Amino acid sequence: MSWDVSRRVFLRGAGLAALGVGFRPSSLLVRAAEGATAGNKVLVQVFLRGGCDGLNLVVPYGDPTYYSLRGGIAIPRGEVVALDSTFGFHPALAPLKPLFDEGRLAVLHAVGNTSLSRSHFDAQDFMESGTPADKSTATGWLDRAIARIQGSEVTEAVAFSSQLPRTLLGPEPVLVAQSLSSFALRGRTWASEANTLLRAAYEGKDTPAGRVGQETFAAIDALARTPAIQAPPANGAIYPNATIGSSLRQVAQIVRAGLGTRCVFVNVPGAFDTHAGQLQANSTEFARIGQALAAFAQDLGPLLDDVVLMVGTEFGRAAFVNGSAGTDHGTAHCMLLLGRVRGGRVHGAWPGLSPSQLYQQRDLAVTTDFRDVFAEVARAQLGVDTSALFPGYTPGPGPGVVG
Amino acid sequence: MGVLSRVSAQIAAGDLGPRAAVHLLNRVGYGPQPGDTGRVLKQGLEDYLEEQLEAPPDPDLDARLRGLTTLRMSLPEASALYAADQGSAAALGRELLSAKIIRSVHARNQLQEVLVDFWFNHFNVNIADGYDRVATAFYERDAIRPHVLGKFPDLLGATAAHPAMLYYLDNYLSTASRVDPRTGRLILGLNENYGRELLELHTVGVDAGYTQEHVFDASRCFTGWTIDFRRGAFLFRAENHDKNAKSVFGLEVPAGGGQSDGEKLLQYLAFHDATAHFVSRKLCQRFVSDDPPVALVARCARAYQSTEGDIREVMRTILGSAEFWYEAFGAGKAKTPLEYAASALRAVDAEVSNGGPVAGHVSTMGMPLYQCLPPTGYSARGADWLNPSSHLARMNFALDLVSGGISGVSVDAARVARSSGASPDDPRSVATALSAQIFGRGLSAQTLDVASRVSRTGVPSVAARVAGVVLASPEMQVR
């Protein structure tokens, strides 16, 4: 009975194990079956690594200062996809305009936190732990959020990433994968024997490597029991050939197959750190984002109402162009939110771009703390109490982006 | 005075025997090959360490790399070739990757290879990025490798002026801002990318206390440092240099300087206390434990300061420390994907003639070599490398390896078993022999029992399947 073993090992939190929660008679099989019909709400966080430029993503084309600051890398008025009289999408985000008009896509500008710093590493670390300027926080913010909901299956939180993201670091189990379609043990001529022996080699091993091995086998089993996970995209959706495309295609598969997953983290490495040649990099990367989000919405159809997908990055970029047709590290960034959101509008107070309005006379200032956004989405999608989700910070009511 | 003079007499006397040898081989290199333990004990731990710190010529390795002809080109030659045919860069990348795996597995100077990996990662560049498709191989060979057991200030200087770094962190584009004489408008020229990462990642570290103004002025010191792409060489363009005075984290650079502004800053930072500490801590994290003891880091920083940043002396401090030898420190530190793959190949005495396919597996485990996108490089913390995706890839690598399913690699597990005195058709005998050869404290009873249950019939051979279980086991994931 490998199942009993794997249930036990899923519980890495000693407190839960002591309470015997891990031995409840419920099983992943039951959960998976429920999930298919229960309409479980899902939180999806898409993290653009490198400091994505919010001012060229959703362009303040109505603010003339933008054009004087940005010079040759400004997006011309005639090319933006206007959302209102002030803001417009970068032209590569055109596939998202219908979703915006239908109220299923929202923009949140000038979000961040000035303590995140302009270091990629620190800013990512602080944002993922949810504690700006405090490096002592051991867990990621989504790990703490998952700890507040029932259940402890390995498929409850999934990260499409080559490594465990800091956001999910902590005692809760996570299925980290780049591809779910090939998530199986090989072994060629002795596949069956290797499978049996390796499971036995990992059974009950209470070391970090031992526990990860057990999670790996549990994930293999969970995916094998849910063949619907392999279904092709629905409604004619076509994803772009890029990391964000293949990851969101698989997120949609998870949502449709009812795997019981409540949180998904999508890691997106890419050309976002645009110190040079920004226009070219923006066109390539933003097109992938636009196409992937549009395909995801088309693929899920009405199931999109169960999802809140938020796209963000560690910091925005300086308000002015640098000497290399690029921008250096900045402060506030811009988020996109898709699904069950109050869409069709650009949320967040606009701080302006004049010298006195810029943060330290160089960056877009922050008007919404990123933790207020994370907390609002976690309350809505996971039903958790967020008052103590971020050590040292009590989130406010939030910017009201979730519908 | 020998390396181990400060370590307890018990260890220096070799009382721990094979356990100490395996401990050493796992920490200074990519793990033991069959027979290594006995060889190192016969040579003596102390002599072995001195040899590793010396890194003498390795003709056997040179012979293995002889067929990789691009390794002997120069950056100017490669740049000319690339200018004529952009596709030529692919061969450079292929051979660099293959050489990386061959060196990791077959180099006698294991410590040198670990340090090349460590310092390349510290001064990361990305081979997937434009001109660095050409320059990366030469960056590792010419800017990193000669200095890995030398002086940190030389290493820092070599990376700062190499075209691969100038390209990766955009400094080749950075110029003084100036007023356009025709329009009277200010043309911004500065690019902060290198100036920031120099402080944050290469020298004093992000917590040293510098400010945005320091980043700005550090970047101004390097304006005009650029690349002559045609010649494939460093170029200083004085007309693009910002000649005004700068102030960086305690260093005042007077107005009127040129290329020397950047050189002064590099010297200043290389000898800064914060750099000594930052670099020492990172080395201790690699060689001792994920959270290295503060006292050891302080001793290493003192060694660094008293030797003008001599990396060999810092390494001598680490290797001679009780913390390094004390098994409880860093026990169970998880291997990175490269460490795992190289150690598995070494454990079964694999012959690697083409490292490319292995590098592909390492990439699937989450570590595409030479392609780390952010300037932070890959994490030195073992704990960051444990996750189901990587774990599945590791187990599949082990199974493919023993089944002869990785091209460019040949393995004969039965031969390894016989040479270790085991009976190759007896699973327990093979498992026991591998346990003694590869694991200092031996495999757990559980793994040993499971490996001994391998069926006596089937394909591949008994010895190969036992090796597959052992290489995929929990114990093999940690060093």
Give CA–CA dist B363/B8, Å, rounded.
40
By CA distance, what is B216's nearest residue in A? A328
Question: Which residues in chain B touch residue A175, judged by CB atoms under 8 angstroms apart?
Answer: 388
Give CA–CA dist B466/B426, Å, rounded.
10
Check residue B384 and report its DSSP letter: G
Buried b (16+ CB within 10 A) or exposed e, A268-306: bbbbbbbbbbbeebbeebbbbbbbbbbbbbbbbeebbeb
pLDDT along chain B (479 residues), means of 10: 56 66 94 94 92 98 97 93 84 96 98 98 94 96 98 98 97 90 80 96 96 96 96 96 98 98 98 98 95 96 98 96 84 93 98 97 95 91 90 97 97 96 97 92 94 96 98 96
List A residues 144-163 in contact with B (Cβ-Cβ < 8 A): 154, 159, 161-163
Residue B460 has what pLDDT?
96
Q: What is the pLDDT of residues A246-260, one digit of tens each?
A: 999 999 999 999 888
Does the beta-carbon distance from A178 to B389 stay under 8 Å?
yes
User: Does residue B181 have a cis peptide bond before it, meaning omega lies within 30 degrees of 0?
Assistant: no
Residue B177 has what pLDDT?
86
Residue B2 has what pLDDT?
60
Residue A15 has what pLDDT?
29
Residue A40 has what pLDDT?
83
Residue A394 has what pLDDT?
97
Give CA–CA dist B91/B113, Å, rounded.
22
Residue A24 has what pLDDT?
29
A367 reaches B (C-beta below 8 A): no
Q: Note whether B155 and B148 are within 8 A (CB).
A: yes
Mutate to test the interface with B, among A67, A203, A328, A362 (most CBs of B within 10 A): A328
By CA distance, what is B213's nearest residue in A? A360
Distance from CA of B382 to the nearest CA of A (A): 10
Q: Is the ipTM, as predicted for this complex, more than 0.90?
A: yes
By CA distance, what is B364's nearest residue in A? A162
Residue A72, class by beta-carbon neighbours within 10 Å (0-12 exposed, 13-18 middle, 19+ buried)? Answer: exposed
Check residue B256 and report its DSSP letter: T
Question: Of the candidates B230, B201, B7, which has an alpha carbon nearest to the alpha carbon of residue B122?
Answer: B201
Question: Which residues in chain B touch residue A212, judged by CB atoms under 8 angstroms apart?
Answer: 386-388, 391, 477
**DSSP code per residue over B34-51:** TTHHHHHHHH-HHHHHHH
Does the beta-carbon distance from A323 to B188 stay under 8 Å?
yes
Q: Pull the structure tokens for residue A24.
A: 């409840």
Question: Which residues in chain B touch residue A213, judged by CB atoms under 8 angstroms apart?
Answer: 391, 395, 474, 477
Least confident of A60-64, A118-122, B49-53, B295-299: A118-122
List of residues 6+ apart from B149 with CB closer than 8 A: B53, B55, B111, B112, B115, B311, B312, B315
Instruction: Report CA torsion sign: A55, A60, A66, A71.
Output: positive
Question: Which residues in chain A touch residue B389, judged by CB atoms under 8 angstroms apart?
Answer: 161-162, 176-178
Q: Note whether A140 and A167 are within 8 A (CB).
A: yes
By CA distance, what is B187's nearest residue in A? A323
Give CA–CA dist B324/B330, Å, rounded.
9
The region that residue A232 occupies, defined by phi over 0 for left and psi between -120 and 50 for alpha, beta otherwise, is beta
Give CA–CA dist B257/B245, Å, rounded.
8
Angle at B465 between CA B463 and CA B466, to 5 degrees: 65
Give CA–CA dist B434/B431, Å, rounded.
5
Mutate to test the interface with B, among A198, A221, A278, A363 (most CBs of B within 10 A): A198
List A residues 312-341 in contact with B (Cβ-Cβ < 8 A): 320-324, 326, 328-329
Give CA–CA dist A347/A340, Å, rounded.
15
Residue A14 has what pLDDT?
29
Q: What is the mean pLDDT of chain A?
A: 89
Angle at A258 between CA A253 and CA A261, to 5 degrees: 85
Residue B15 has what pLDDT?
57
Residue B1 has what pLDDT?
45
The residues that bridge with A88 in the sheet, in sequence order, are: A59, A82
Does the beta-carbon distance from A197 to B451 stay under 8 Å?
yes
The owner of tokens 């031992």 is: A210
Contacts A–B by Cβ distance under 8 A: 183
Q: What is the pLDDT of residues A295-314, one digit of tens each?
A: 999 999 999 999 999 999 99
Does the beta-carbon distance from A324 to B173 stay under 8 Å?
yes
Q: Pull the structure tokens for residue B186.
A: 């200010």
Question: Which residues in chain B touch residue A326, judged by CB atoms under 8 angstroms apart?
Answer: 170, 191
Q: Note whether A63 and A352 are within 8 A (CB).
A: yes
